[in-house]
Amino acid sequence: MKNYAVLYALLAALLFGVNTPFSKLLINELNPLFLAALLYLGAGIGMTVIHLFNKSRKIEVTEARLSKREMPYVILMILLDIAAPIFLLYGISLTNSSTAALLGTFEIAATSVIAVIIFKEAIGKRLWIAIGFISLASILLTLTDASSIHLSIGSVLVLLSCVCWGFENNCTRKISLKDPLQIVILKGFGSGMGALLIASIWGELSGSLLAIVLAMVLGFVAYGLSIYFYIKAQRGLGAARTSAYYAAAPFMGVLISWLVLREPITLSFLIALGIMMLGSWLALSENHEHAHMHDPETHEHKHTHEEDHHQHSDHRLRSPEHCHSHTHTHECLEHKHFHLPDSHHRHVH
């Protein structure tokens, strides 16, 4: 489960990594605010097409649907996704790009701190060291001119955008058990329409048809598919660990820029990549094992009856290895084994 979750997180980072180099090509054709709206809308439309395709092929849906219980997190997630770019854009307008890029790495720490303090996610010393290395690598990647770095009101706004995304990452984690396709569709259309409204007020809704279509295709890949795999990763890794692996996205972007835009790879990038790999190894090799108690819990999500935590007696007509979703109850259980803050191990340490 852990290896699959790490793979999902890295795949999400790779898909999001295409955003920066290809957005550079589109930013000359489209207003930044309009481009942001198109990226979100492209994610919503693209994932809707996948949903309709699955429905037409009568592919069995094994994921649990969102319920009214999760709607507050969905609404908050959308609002935070709208607010964060506003803070970031105003921050960038009041400070230089070097400072904004450097402070953007604060999202990793913000996600982790919020996960620990508010959502009570367990993070040990080894993971904190890993997060430190990954943050250092991100700083080295974005730091081009130390003399140009300075704090200002714009810097505070950039930090606020990171805090918004930190809360958004944790809100997504709270609903990660539910159908990721449905979540991305709601997130895409909700955030996209909000960003479109902002673009109509402060931006400019114009551009060639080709640029608009390409922006939406990019949104489908870099936002839609990326967020889909990000949510699947959060099921097994929790918010902090997924954020740590997702920090590989800028490195993916640099590699793609090297391949597509022929931008040079610098020595600082190679050093930062080495530090990032060390941090990722520390996170991957974490061994979190202790005796813990599972309190009785009733919920609904995708599972099989082969899994240790799903030995309940309902749905007996199903074969044990059959993936399905239904409301089920976990009885009180105490045992000891390796685990991460996945959907069944979010206990307080």
Encode the chain (349 residues) as per-residue pLDDT tens digits.
Answer: 557 888 999 899 889 888 877 887 888 888 888 988 999 999 999 999 999 998 888 776 677 888 888 899 999 999 998 888 778 767 776 776 556 666 777 888 888 889 888 888 877 788 888 888 888 887 776 665 556 566 678 888 888 988 998 999 899 888 988 899 999 999 999 999 998 998 898 888 989 999 999 999 999 999 999 999 999 998 888 887 888 787 777 777 777 777 776 767 778 778 888 888 888 788 767 665 545 465 665 555 554 555 555 455 555 555 555 555 556 565 665 555 444 555 554 545 5
Collapsed DSSP state (helix, strand, coil) of residue 36: helix
Residue ranges with strand state E in the chain: 289-294, 297-303, 324-330, 333-338
Phi and psi at 171, nearest 5°, equal -65, -40
Give CA–CA dist 276/282, Å, rounded.
10
Give Cα separations from 77 to 16, 165, 219 (angstroms): 18, 9, 18
Q: How far is CA 121 from CA 68, 85, 115, 246, 347, in A?
A: 24, 26, 5, 18, 8
The residue whose two tokens read 């191990």 is: 345
Instruction: Indicate the Cα dihedral angle 98, 101, 106, 107, nearest 10°.
Output: 170
The C-alpha atoms of residue 218 and residue 150 are separated, in whole angstroms, by 33
**Could you tell me which residues come within 8 angstroms of residue 195 by beta carbon, excluding any fewer than 6 positions away?**
33, 36, 37, 40, 82, 85
SS3 assignment, position 20? helix
**Residue 182 near residue 65, CB atoms below 8 Å:** yes
Question: What's residue 292's pLDDT?
Answer: 47
Q: Which sequence spans correspond to the domains of the chain?
A: 2-290, 297-331
Residue recorded with tokens 């081009």: 144
Separation between Cα atoms, residue 233 and residue 292, nearest integer Å? 23
Distance CA 197, CA 41 (A): 12
Instruction: Say how far apart CA 255 and CA 13 lie, in whole Å.
Output: 12
CA distance 82 to 97: 21
Whole-angstrom CA distances from 213 to 26, 54, 317 are: 11, 23, 47
